[in-house]
Amino acid sequence: MRNAATILHLDMDAFYASVEQASKPSLRGKAVIVGGLGPRGVVATASYEARVFGVRSAMPMAQARRLAPNAACLVPRFGFYKAISEQVMALLHALSPLVEPLSLDEAFVDLEAGEVAWDDASARLVGEKLRADIRAGTGLTGSVGLAASKMLAKIASEEAKPDGLVLIEPGTERALLGPMPVRTLPGVGPATGDHLRRAGISTVDEIAEAGEDELVRLLGRAHGQALYAMALAHDDRPVVAERETKSVSVEDTYDVDIHDRLRVGLEVQRLADRCVRRLRGAGLSGRTIVLKVRRYDFSTLTRSETLRGPTDDPAVVREAAARLLDTVDTTGGVRLLGVGVSGLADFTQEDLFAQAAGERAERAAAEGTAQPVEAEPADEPAEAEPVPAERRWPSGHDVRHGEFGHGWVQGSGLGRVTVRFETPGSPPGRVRTFRTDDPGLEPADPLPLVARGPGTTFAEVS
């Protein structure tokens, strides 16, 4: 580890929900939940106002609504979140060539590699300026952790939340980590945490006291050795510059083996939905669906299916994962399940439909196999008007009305859509209800967020 706190970890505060609050004046200071609104939808992010009621990421949306019945529940706008993320990441790249993004709202930065910090004092100045630049450029807040290692920088940013900065001075790491719960350390999830707790180990100090041999006995060589090193605050992992994503995947390890085949299937469907949310969050799609199953005897099976084109459709991924599960024997129980997507692209299968149709027509013409167009029945008009499908209006998404201007969808159903007309820089706007097929109402692109100076609140901007 280095001798100065020159590794920075940035974590944007309740990112998706904060973007929604910044773009919708009527939601500022109120509970906001972003996620899927269907029967099996889950929470992607909750604002701090919603977290007061116990709402958390990955919670079923139905449960979140019960906990916070007055919260605004919005469908994610991943394209907009990605655009804001690119603004933030550009600020990080201006600091150093070594930026390691972890997601749209989180990244490590090696400040020494950028020659912008060389000791604790200069690192702190860089961190404070970064937070001010993010606020000035996007109107959002981020929490910054500074330390001599990646592990500690991430722990520091968590301690800094929300909208703060924490620097862990080299030499103080052991004292800081000691009383923290074991779940603080990277790689200690619910299953490992429970396993350690049953062995009488609940804090980082107790991990260190148990010793490497005991941890290897409890968790296996690789995991035990890594956990012991982290408990001693040893972490030499470098900040790795951004690399092309090869795949997107999620997996869960279960405390008790799952024997019920129906539940295994439901878990695979849930993982498929999580995987697609992560895929869409990165602005990607993929052709190959991968299923991972670790059975009761620790044998691990992997199955894959390659589609005809890339997709980010959750139904498609769920169906492919279910087909793959049909090929796996889960008799005896399942310890781990995972769903992944590889063969990534920045377009979807739907983008290929027109191209593919054109290619088929060209091949048919070249081979002389083109089929004649059938004549219309005599009692039908030659060019009947297609029946338009009812337009969908996702909650939280942007719209524009010819008379009332820019707004966003508060809700829709029973042939009606309710819209609040306001912009990021306006006061809270008025609400109006329209028919879903109102010709004056159209989907719109999001408007830029209103930047805030240091110390400015959303209320002052409004």
Just list the catalytic residues. Answer: 106
Task: Please state whether 392 falls in left (phi above 0), alpha (psi between -120 and 50) or beta.
Answer: beta
Residue 292 has φ and ψ, to the nearest 5°, of -120, 130
**Spatial separation of the C-alpha atoms in residues 416 and 438, rounded to whole Å:** 9
In terms of Cβ atoms closer than 10 Å to its own Cβ (0-12, 13-18, 19+), residue 57 is: middle
Asked whether 291 and 378 are in contact (CB, 8 A), the reply is no
Determine contact, residues 40/58, Cβ cutoff 8 Å: no
Burial zone of 60 (CB within 10 Å; 0-12 exposed, 13-18 middle, 19+ buried): middle
Burial 127-140, CB ≥16 within 10 A → b, else e = beebbebbbebbbb
- Please compute, for residue 180, the number of CA atoms within 13 A of its CA located in the half-sphere on the CB side: 22
